[in-house]
Structure 1
Amino acid sequence: MKPQYYKITIALSIIALIFVARLSYLQLFTDRYALNAANTSIKTHYDIPQRGVIFDRNGKILVGNQPAYEISYTEALMRPDFDTLDFCSLLKISKTDFITKIKSIRKEEYFSKLTPITFIKNLNREEVARIQEIIFKYPAFNIVSRPVRQYEVSTSGNLLGYTNEVNAGDIKKDSTYYRPGDIAGKTGVEKSYEKFLRGEKGVQFIQKDIKLRDVGPYKDGTLDVDKVIGSDITLTIDYDLQRIAEEMMVNKRGAIVALDPKTGEILAMATGPDIDPNIFVGSNKSRDIYRLGKDTFNMPTFDRSIQAGYPPGSTFKLLTALAGMQMGVLDENTVFPCGGGFNYKGLRIKGHGGAVPMIPSIQVSSNCYFSYAMLAIINKYPGNPSKGVDEWRAIMKSFGLGDYMNNDLAVGAPGKIPSGKYYEDYQRRIYKGAGIDKDVKDWSPLSTGAIFDGMGQGDILVTPLQMANFTAAIVNKGWYVTPHIVKSIDGKPNPDPRFKVKHKTLVTNPHYYDVVMKGMEQVMLAGTGRSLKSKDFTQLAKTGTAQVPQGKDNSIFVLAAPAENPTIVVVAVMEHAGFGATWAGPACTVIAEKFLTGDIKRENLYKKMINGSFMSEYRRQEIARLKKKGWYKEPNKDSLKILQIQDSLKFIKDAALRAELLYKKDSLQIRLNLKSKK
């Protein structure tokens, strides 16, 4: 044999020896193959941990657990002598139902003969007690304890979220943990903090004899893994504020958001319409969740507080003022020719306030002043409006606008802050449509609509949470902490480093903020929000009345209090409700009043909000939309009567809910008073 063949032979021999040695080690000295699911003499039992409890910031339980049971099926453990009829009698199901269920299990994407898969759910304790005595006769089936959620509140379904059985996508994302039949958070806090709330499953390896009867733990349980109960989570939410906000959003669309400007902790985040989370439990939950998702009229699963981008209207004028001062194109003493409104190259915008400086212009919410201010921003660099817009845009983004907020919420929207390129492309389309061959670099603020950005119309979109955040940055004089929803985990402060950073804005001069805040103070003392002035605390605010194409204006309001050292920021958006101080304003001041004084002192504002309804306007818009698409059919008289009855029943139900909530609040106060007297 030639020498080179000796080398090849030796190399192959060494490789073969390594392979044999490794295989021997795995088979003889480890449990990897002994525990392989193919070895049906070892049964794997998973111990499902209880999910963590969700509390509000004051220790109130919002979401807990209740015991529930199910039966799992492992096909590899099915005996040849399995008595189908006897088993069906035990479970009180028909043989047809049994066969149908087994067939559906086999068709599941992640079906394996070796993996336990849910056969039947939602067994009560009495059923389990009856079945437990006999189920040992059917080793392919096993009783599994799987706690289900119990909601202690009847509002905030979008915020809290729900759990449901994992799907193929969930298993694919985390195949090391999830198995068919497992439960995971699908929306809200349940989703965003899933890995904390779910805990860790326990694993027990049970040895079986030749007849597949349990004979005890494998290797005396040394390989078993103890379950770890899910972590309890304390939210930043103050449920008293949250409940009041949800009550005020009944029969309205929009959102109310309150946060602590110093910490970024979200105190309330209500969306309208709301969801009662109790529909997420029970035997009909899948049907109810599907129905909610298909409701295209109310869109209850669309969380408007963090997913809806709104034109911010006049609330945005605060940022226009700051950007203009930072860019050096105006100051607090700048006066624009606003005697008869805004007039520029044929464009006329009706206005009020006259030719006055910045603070009075904020006070009266002058469209004219802030249109001229935006024009000055755009024209900062003559012949290159994109450069001015991009500098302005960078300032806006430093306030957390135009981007996802990178927080601990399950969903969100980035909003929209246009760039110079956006308007160049817009101008290009205009020229192309008109057949004009012209350079778009020096685009027109009028034809593109960029000039309307200064008063919060134009192409700007902002979520209610973003509005609250930029208001916090203003009252903090140039910084904010990313808004977040979880305060602590298992009693320890939220460890997420994102919520410990002070983000600095590009407006760096504290004096600029002083000017804007003086304007906000004047809004409440003598301006557009003066009707909402409180006798108990000082306020900084700005009204907003945003025009929208669908119908009536959106009512918007931002508020911070107390004025000398704000500890709460509140923002409200009421879709198609009209003037900002009429509807959004009362909602904000009621929340601030409850937070700062511990009570609602102006009951008239609260009652106005809980009794107000804009459903007729929403229905009018929906009918107009359907007619435009050719889908609308005029209802007959009987249908109209049914609708009127349904409306009456809904009103009665809503009124009953409000009365129940108020009763619970009063009863709790009575109990607390009695306890304190003892």
Structure 2
Amino acid sequence: MFTDRYTLNAFNTSIKQEIIYPNRGDILDRNGKLLVSNSYSYEIDVVPSKIIDDSGVFINDFDRSKFSKMVGISTNQFDSIISKITTAKDYKKLSPYPFLKNISREDFARMQEQLYLYPAFSIIKRPERKYMVGTAGNILGYINEANPSYIKTDSNYYQPGDLVGISGVEKSYEKDLRGEKGVKNWIVDRTMNVVGPYKNGDYDHPVKSGKTVNLTIDYRLQELAEQMLKNKRGAIVAIDPNNGEILALASAPTINPNDFLQSKSRNALINDSISKPTFDRALQGTYPPGSTFKVVTALAGLQMGTMTEQTTYVCKHGFRYGRMHIGCHCGMYYTPQGLEHAIGKSCNNFFSEAYRDIVRKDPNDYSVGMNEWAAIMNSFGLGKFMGTDLPVGSKGLIPTADFYNDRFGEGVWNPYRIIFNGMGQGDINTTPLQMANYTAAIANKGFFYTPHIVHQIDGKPLTDSTYMVKKKTLVDPSHFDIILRGMRNVYTMGTARSFETSTFTQLGKTGTSQNSHGQDHSLFILIAPADKPKIAIAAIVENGSWGTTWAGPMASLVAELYITDTIKRPALVDRMKNGNLQGEYNRQWIDYLKRKGLYIEPIKKDSTKLKNESKQIIKRY
């Protein structure tokens, strides 16, 4: 593309600049699998000052009818395009603007032969994204034309028509991926023919391709997770607890990144307000973590001294206080029960009583225990933004004493009004990424690394201390062993016995999160292997019922593939992949429409009439 910079009246020549667009950097997974690369598209750009004067009138020697015919559009289309350009906010007559995009190679060759007759126009070769995979759209993101507000963020680099990262890694690492534009300065005559380079090219700048970005993602895990989440909604997040690298970040409904390439399919994704595929459930979705949260409830109690490893509670078929009754299926009733067994059997009473004792640590001031508990939760990365290198996220909710003072009034609330928090219900909300992160912190016995998605840039590891320095929780390392033993019990004598395997040793915790709009959510957290953890996983399947129904097996299979490089439970994989919860989601949508008074019953034909019509059809044939 060309823009005026100087006019050399003495020689009746001008200096023009040609901008050369760089290849955008490739994106690969941790093992070197190519995920995103480049292809090329052609477009015609225009410098408006070369065809219209300051009053908006076309310059006399420009034949727009002939030009329109040459590029294959009508004069009305031509006028419409020029009008949009010249009436745009921050319009600059000397700047180049995209005029016609997505020109085929054949048209490019034909137009190139005639375009010298129209010096206001030039053909630009732009790199565009080429996705090598059909999954991981939520991670990779997409690029699109920069809007005026984006251009203002770096007006020295961006111009109208430039493509920029809009979501995902494309957005987070835009400056690394975009490269540097090249510039060539030419001397041209009155007819825009090149006379030669300006100053022997001393003021030219070479084009520099974008940097290659290696993600922390293991594409095998990502692909498996997305396949298992097909026809479901939810998320699976896997982290390497040894460094905070995200191994899988699946959100469902899943996105094929190739659907971002065409505006029609891209807009369909963005505007889908029912299943919301562009809402990254792994990063933005907030859910009550259910019984997976019981392990951090216990850690808080141990740290605060409101319980010890020897503490027992007696389950009376659940937790009871006055008329309140929280049911339980632990199977150990009216007998003192310890922490290890309570984790394995997921005893609701044990963790309700443990949370009650946390809040009433100071019987005269519940805010003391409440705020100490909240601070411990915050130290696990809960209730606050995590500071990842991803463009979106949610901080979830960990309530404090002030939260309940505002809701109920100071001195009005008590532990029993908020008792469900101890079981990961009530007012607790976490993202799947946060769940995976507190699981990693448990695997590490009290510390974690901030989760991140990029492993290397141009072959160089990340050096940002944000991701390299340990974040220590407020829980002493000595309190974690009993928690880990309890999580092993989940497989040996508890709720996850059905998908135990002899291939590797798993630690886990099931969760079932109540949902007022339909079937409960299925949740699970997992650490594997037990002796030297390599992976921490959190899985949630919306409206999937028990944690052992969907989330647990999915997490186990992801861990198996990562640790053993294969899967020896094909029947379980098939059951996960073939599961379909669309019926439940459709029912919820209909219920929602009914509540809003928007539902219209489908018209059903009379069955007798249908039979008669069928008979007539049979007679005809």
- CA deviations on 1:505-537 (whole Å, 9 max, x unpaired) are 0002x2210010000001111111111111100
Q: Does 1:169 align with 2:149?
A: yes
Q: Is the helix fraction higher in 1 or 2?
A: 1
Aligned to 1:379: 360
Aligned to 2:233: 253
Once the two structures are TM-superposed, the CA of residue 347 in structure 1 deviates from its matched residue by 1.8
Aligned to 1:294: 271
Counterpart of 1:390 in structure 2: which amino acid?
N
**Which of 418, 421, 427 pairs up with 2:408?**
427
Counterpart of 1:553 in structure 2: which amino acid?
D
Counterpart of 1:521 in structure 2: which amino acid?
R
Aligned to 1:110: 90
- CA deviations on 1:453-498 (whole Å, 9 max, x unpaired) are 1110010001011100000000100110111101000111123221
Aligned to 2:223: 243
- CA deviations on 1:84-130 (whole Å, 9 max, x unpaired) are 22222221222221111111111221321100000011112222111
Equivalent position SS for 2:299: helix
Q: Does 1:65 align with 2:38?
A: yes
Which deviates more from structure 2 when the two are superposed, residues 245-254 or residues 200-209? 200-209
The answer to whether the Cα contact below 8 Å between 1:265 and 1:485 also exists between their aligned partners in 2 is yes
Once the two structures are TM-superposed, the CA of residue 33 in structure 1 deviates from its matched residue by 7.5
**Which of 98, 121, 126 pairs up with 2:106?**
126
Counterpart of 2:71 in structure 1: which amino acid?
L
Q: What is the alpha-carbon distance in structure 2 between the residues aligned to residue 466 and residue 206 of structure 1?
A: 55
The answer to whether the Cα contact below 8 Å between 1:203 and 1:224 also exists between their aligned partners in 2 is yes
Aligned to 1:665: none
Q: Does 1:308 align with 2:285?
A: yes
Counterpart of 1:489 in structure 2: which amino acid?
I
Counterpart of 2:243 in structure 1: which amino acid?
T
Q: Does 1:599 align with 2:566?
A: yes
Aligned to 2:315: 338
Q: Does 1:514 align with 2:494?
A: no
Change (3 A) 1:626 1:90: same
Q: What is the alpha-carbon distance in structure 2 between the residues aligned to residue 197 and residue 570 of structure 1?
A: 29
- Aligned positions of 1:530-545 closer than 5 A: 530-545=497-512
Aligned to 1:14: none
Aligned to 1:407: 388
Once the two structures are TM-superposed, the CA of residue 35 in structure 1 deviates from its matched residue by 8.2
Q: What is the alpha-carbon distance in structure 1 between the residues aligned to residue 431 and residue 508 of structure 2?
A: 18
Counterpart of 2:295 in structure 1: which amino acid?
L
Once the two structures are TM-superposed, the CA of residue 403 in structure 1 deviates from its matched residue by 0.9
Aligned to 1:672: none
The answer to whether the Cα contact below 8 Å between 1:427 and 1:444 also exists between their aligned partners in 2 is no
The answer to whether the Cα contact below 8 Å between 2:318 and 2:349 also exists between their aligned partners in 1 is yes
Equivalent position SS for 1:622: helix
The answer to whether the Cα contact below 8 Å between 1:251 and 1:614 also exists between their aligned partners in 2 is yes
Aligned to 1:327: 304
Once the two structures are TM-superposed, the CA of residue 40 in structure 1 deviates from its matched residue by 9.2
Counterpart of 1:612 in structure 2: which amino acid?
G
Q: What is the alpha-carbon distance in structure 2 between the residues aligned to residue 265 and residue 35 of structure 1?
A: 54
Q: What is the alpha-carbon distance in structure 2 between the residues aligned to residue 383 and residue 423 of structure 1?
A: 16
Q: What is the alpha-carbon distance in structure 1 between the residues aligned to residue 314 and residue 323 of structure 2?
A: 15
Once the two structures are TM-superposed, the CA of residue 261 in structure 1 deviates from its matched residue by 0.7
- CA deviations on 1:108-158 (whole Å, 9 max, x unpaired) are 213211000000111122221111122111110011111110011111111
- Aligned positions of 1:276-287 closer than 5 A: 276-281=256-261, 285-287=262-264
Q: What is the alpha-carbon distance in structure 1 between the residues aligned to residue 62 and residue 6 of structure 2?
A: 26
Equivalent position SS for 1:290: helix
Equivalent position SS for 1:548: coil
Counterpart of 2:594 in structure 1: which amino acid?
K
**Which of 422, 426, 451 pairs up with 1:483?**
451
Could you tell me which runs of 5 or more consecutive residues in structure 1 were left unpaired when the two chains were aligned.
1-31, 429-439, 639-678
Q: Does 1:203 align with 2:183?
A: yes
Aligned to 1:216: 196
The answer to whether the Cα contact below 8 Å between 2:7 and 2:14 also exists between their aligned partners in 1 is no
Once the two structures are TM-superposed, the CA of residue 366 in structure 1 deviates from its matched residue by 0.5
Q: What is the alpha-carbon distance in structure 2 between the residues aligned to residue 110 and residue 43 of structure 1?
A: 22
Aligned to 1:456: 424
Q: What is the alpha-carbon distance in structure 2 between the residues aligned to residue 605 and residue 110 of structure 1?
A: 58
The answer to whether the Cα contact below 8 Å between 2:13 and 2:190 also exists between their aligned partners in 1 is no
Which deviates more from structure 2 when the two are superposed, residues 146-155 or residues 41-50? 41-50
Aligned to 2:325: 348
Once the two structures are TM-superposed, the CA of residue 69 in structure 1 deviates from its matched residue by 1.1
Aligned to 2:610: none
Change (3 A) 1:587 1:207: same
Equivalent position SS for 2:44: strand
Q: Does 1:612 align with 2:579?
A: yes
Once the two structures are TM-superposed, the CA of residue 441 in structure 1 deviates from its matched residue by 2.8
Q: Does 1:590 align with 2:570?
A: no
* Aligned residues between the structures: 588
Aligned to 2:617: none
Could you tell me which runs of 5 or more consecutive residues in structure 2 were left unpaired when the two chains were aligned.
52-58, 606-621
Which deviates more from structure 2 when the two are superposed, residues 495-504 or residues 371-380? 495-504
Change (3 A) 1:244 1:40: farther
Which deviates more from structure 2 when the two are superposed, residues 71-80 or residues 50-59? 71-80
The answer to whether the Cα contact below 8 Å between 1:380 and 1:388 also exists between their aligned partners in 2 is yes
Return structure 1 stretches of 4+ with deviation > 6 angstroms.
none
The answer to whether the Cα contact below 8 Å between 2:499 and 2:553 also exists between their aligned partners in 1 is yes
The answer to whether the Cα contact below 8 Å between 1:383 and 1:442 also exists between their aligned partners in 2 is no
The answer to whether the Cα contact below 8 Å between 2:294 and 2:351 also exists between their aligned partners in 1 is yes
Identity percentage of aligned residues:
49
Q: Does 1:74 align with 2:47?
A: yes
Counterpart of 1:505 in structure 2: which amino acid?
T
Q: What is the alpha-carbon distance in structure 2 between the residues aligned to residue 163 and residue 35 of structure 1?
A: 36
- CA deviations on 1:228-253 (whole Å, 9 max, x unpaired) are 11001000111111111100010000
Counterpart of 2:474 in structure 1: which amino acid?
L
Once the two structures are TM-superposed, the CA of residue 205 in structure 1 deviates from its matched residue by 2.3
**Which of 172, 192, 195 pairs up with 1:192?**
172
Change (3 A) 1:637 1:46: farther
- CA deviations on 1:609-644 (whole Å, 9 max, x unpaired) are 110011111111111111101111112248xxxxxx
Q: What is the alpha-carbon distance in structure 1 between the residues aligned to residue 345 and residue 87 of structure 2?
A: 66
Aligned to 1:663: none
- Aligned positions of 1:543-562 closer than 5 A: 543-562=510-529
Equivalent position SS for 1:134: helix
Once the two structures are TM-superposed, the CA of residue 330 in structure 1 deviates from its matched residue by 0.1
Once the two structures are TM-superposed, the CA of residue 295 in structure 1 deviates from its matched residue by 1.2
Equivalent position SS for 2:389: coil
Aligned to 1:469: 437
Q: Is the strand fraction higher in 1 or 2?
A: 2
Equivalent position SS for 2:490: helix
Counterpart of 1:261 in structure 2: which amino acid?
P
Q: What is the alpha-carbon distance in structure 1 between the residues aligned to residue 462 and residue 442 of structure 2?
A: 25
Q: Does 1:145 align with 2:125?
A: yes
**Which of 63, 66, 70 pairs up with 1:90?**
70
Q: What is the alpha-carbon distance in structure 1 between the residues aligned to residue 406 and residue 75 of structure 2?
A: 66
Q: What is the alpha-carbon distance in structure 2 between the residues aligned to residue 590 and residue 480 of structure 1?
A: 24
Equivalent position SS for 1:482: coil
Aligned to 1:576: 543
Once the two structures are TM-superposed, the CA of residue 211 in structure 1 deviates from its matched residue by 3.6
Q: What is the alpha-carbon distance in structure 2 between the residues aligned to residue 628 and residue 485 of structure 1?
A: 41
The answer to whether the Cα contact below 8 Å between 1:246 and 1:274 also exists between their aligned partners in 2 is yes
Counterpart of 1:307 in structure 2: which amino acid?
Q
The answer to whether the Cα contact below 8 Å between 2:142 and 2:167 also exists between their aligned partners in 1 is yes
The answer to whether the Cα contact below 8 Å between 1:386 and 1:441 also exists between their aligned partners in 2 is no
Aligned to 2:619: none
